[in-house]
Amino acid sequence: MRTGVSAMLGGAACALLIGGMGTAHAQAKDADAAGGFSIEGSVRARAEVVDGQVKPGAPDSDAMLSFRTLITARYDFGGVHLTAELDDARSYFQHGQSTAGTSETNALEPLQAFLGIDLGNVAGQKGKGVLRLGRFTASSGSGRLLDRPDWSNSPNSFLGANLDWSSARGDRLTLIAARLFDKLPSDRPSIEDNQVELDRANAGLQFWGGSFTRAKALAGANTELFAYGLDERDRAGRATRDRDLFTFGGRVNRTPGKGKLDFELEGALQRGTTRGSTAASDLLDRKVRAGMANVEIGYTFAAGWTPRVTAFFGYASGDTTATDYRRFDPLFGGRRGDFGPLSLYGPASWANIVSPGVAIEAKPSKAWDFSVKARKFLLASATDSFAATSVRDATGASGRDAGTQVEGRVRNWLVPKKLRVEAGAAFLAKGRFLTDATNAPATGDMKFGYLTLSTFF
């Protein structure tokens, strides 16, 4: 646990940054006008509490106060630019055995540092984009396989090359060939003390692939094809499952619009080999036979608050046999949009899950918006661990019912584009599996709440 002095210093630093934003923004504008330099950033403070924790070994109840400061500077030489982003992610007051880790805490980390080459026409097609060389964050398509999630205080970053180009008609091409950065420090005492240690590019993990989206190619819907490869090997001090994965699939979606029906169909297959665990004694390369799918249909009403109602169904395979590995690996995707809040919460993920549900979202005014979502959680395989919980019954006797989740949030711009407040909550009524499985914690239903204040400059 951290001292109250450390917490007060963190809060004071946050307040100082917020107080100086108007001056910093004005200076950045003057510099930009003088010579191609620009700077922008944000500061976010989030308080969250959880009770009835579902993950084995974690405290039944936990609380955390976290701060995320992002500062991005860019110098444009005309057709080529240099970009650097600093991420200072700190957390306070969480339990010594908290589920919060390097996604919440990563102090003074240069999250991005790359040379950007601006692109215009490609292969005779008019458009614009950028080729990034260096350290960068990345996202593609729906973000379920590759994303920079806003919920995370410390998102994934890569070292290598990344192309993101869009044509004049809206087609999009993304390509990536990179190594993942390991977030450091990763040990519990250092995380609790907000120690500063630079992340390290993982020489044992290669990630490559990309996607192409054709805008309005099918009855007004966008069509996307994607493929990603991941090659992972043990290295000094780091045991892995030696994953050699190839993930490929497609997506068809029509974007929401007032008075219109929208939909999304996405599916992916995963092939290759992997070990069943990181144990040194596990030398068997199992054949990967995994997959995922998501189906969503929605309608946005044109009048009043323009509410959008949706129904959806998600599936990701699970299970491991003596020779096959059938648990889907979501790679570097995000899950906040599909499965609710993360950090101290986050029981669900794109692994061993079957989940139908419904949602409604609305925007009463330019400043206000809210959403409410309910979904059922079932196991695709009764003998595998459920999603991100690590709860497992190898016999399958505890069934497939993991429970029902209801979550919602409300946001308000206190100062348009400058200061926003967000509050949210989630409730998981645990099903038989999360109460009867051998290693399921003997806690009640899971309850979670958070309050966020974000300022932008």
pLDDT, position 4? 36
Backbone angles phi, psi at 58, to 5 degrees: -90, 155
Asked if residue 311 lies in contact with residue 297, where contact means CB atoms within 8 angstroms, the answer is: yes
HSE-CB for 394 with a 13 A CA cutoff = 2
Q: What pLDDT digit, counting tens, does each position of 16-48 carry?
A: 333 333 333 433 343 343 359 999 999 999 999
The dihedrals phi and psi of 117, each to the nearest 5 degrees, come to -110, 115
- Per-residue exposure over 252-271, b if at least 16 CB sit within 10 Å of its own CB, e if not: bbbebeeeeebbbbbebbbe
As a whole number of angstroms, the distance between CA 354 and CA 188 comes to 33
270: nearest Cα among 339, 351, 213: 351
pLDDT at 410: 98
The pLDDT tens digits of the residues spanning 174-200 come to 999 999 999 999 999 999 999 999 999
Closest CA to 132 of 101, 163, 104, 107: 163
pLDDT tens for 111-139 read 999 999 999 876 677 899 999 999 999 99
pLDDT of residue 278: 87
Query: Which of these, 103, 138, 202, lies nearest to 333 by C-alpha position?
Result: 138
- pTM for this one? 0.89
The pLDDT of 156-172, averaged and rounded, is 96
Phi, psi torsion values for 148, nearest 5 degrees: -110, 90
288-323, pLDDT tens digit by residue? 999 999 999 999 999 899 999 999 999 999 998 888
Per-residue pLDDT, 123: 66
What is the per-residue pLDDT for 23?
A: 35
Mean pLDDT of 220-235: 95
pLDDT at site 237:
75
Average pLDDT over residues 158-172: 96
Do 389 and 431 meet the contact criterion of CB atoms below 8 Å apart?
Answer: no
Instruction: Check pLDDT > 60 for residue 252.
Output: yes
Query: Above 50 in pLDDT, residue 338?
Result: yes
Instruction: Judge whether residue 364 has pLDDT over 50.
Output: yes
